């Protein structure tokens, strides 16, 4: 199962990188819409309004994409180190990925299978040092 968890981590990082690239594209489109709205003449108030709405939508989608992509990159890098908390975050992100048809669905299903499997749980169990008890 170690190979599957490593592959899930790699796929999470690739998915995060693709989300970041898409976000840069959305951001540039939002900047272009802002430039179009700024260049519109005073008589074209409808064009300015439409360009403003389009720019706001693209900027919002870019911000969501940056957060989503960064989360996948971060969790994927921590999954490679078999952090117990990263497994929990990856499971949550996998459930969200299920709704992003078709590639997110495939990634979500595979990640859920690999991370919830009984043989992968011991990979994330870390031996924490015992804390000495101080008695009053």
Residues 98-127: tens digit of each pLDDT: 999 899 999 999 999 999 988 888 888 764
Q: Which pTM value belongs to this model?
A: 0.80
What are the two backbone dihedrals, phi and then psi, of residue 132, each rounded to the nearest 5 degrees? -65, 135
Cα–Cα distance list, 97 to 9, 14, 20, 90, 109 (Å): 14, 13, 15, 10, 9
Instruction: Specify the pLDDT at position 135.
Output: 65
pLDDT at 80 over 80: yes
Residue 44 has pLDDT above 80, yes or no: no
The predicted structure's pLDDT at residue 38: 85
Nearest alpha-carbon partner for 97 in 112, 84, 87, 86 = 112
């Amino acid at each position: 199962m170690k190979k599957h968890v490593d592959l899930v981590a790699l796929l999470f990082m690739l998915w995060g990188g693709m989300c970041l690239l898409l976000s840069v594209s959305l951001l540039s489109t939002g900047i272009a819409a802002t430039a179009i709205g700024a260049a519109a003449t005073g008589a074209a108030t409808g064009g300015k309004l439409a360009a403003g709405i389009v720019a706001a939508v693209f900027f919002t989608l870019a911000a969501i994409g940056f957060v989503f992509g960064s989360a996948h990159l971060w969790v994927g890098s921590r999954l490679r180190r078999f952090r117990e908390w990263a497994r929990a975050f990856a499971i949550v992100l996998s459930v969200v990925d299920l709704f992003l048809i078709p590639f997110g669905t495939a990634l979500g299903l595979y990640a859920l299978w690999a991370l919830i499997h009984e043989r992968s749980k011991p990979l994330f169990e870390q031996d924490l040092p015992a804390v000495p008890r101080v008695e009053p």
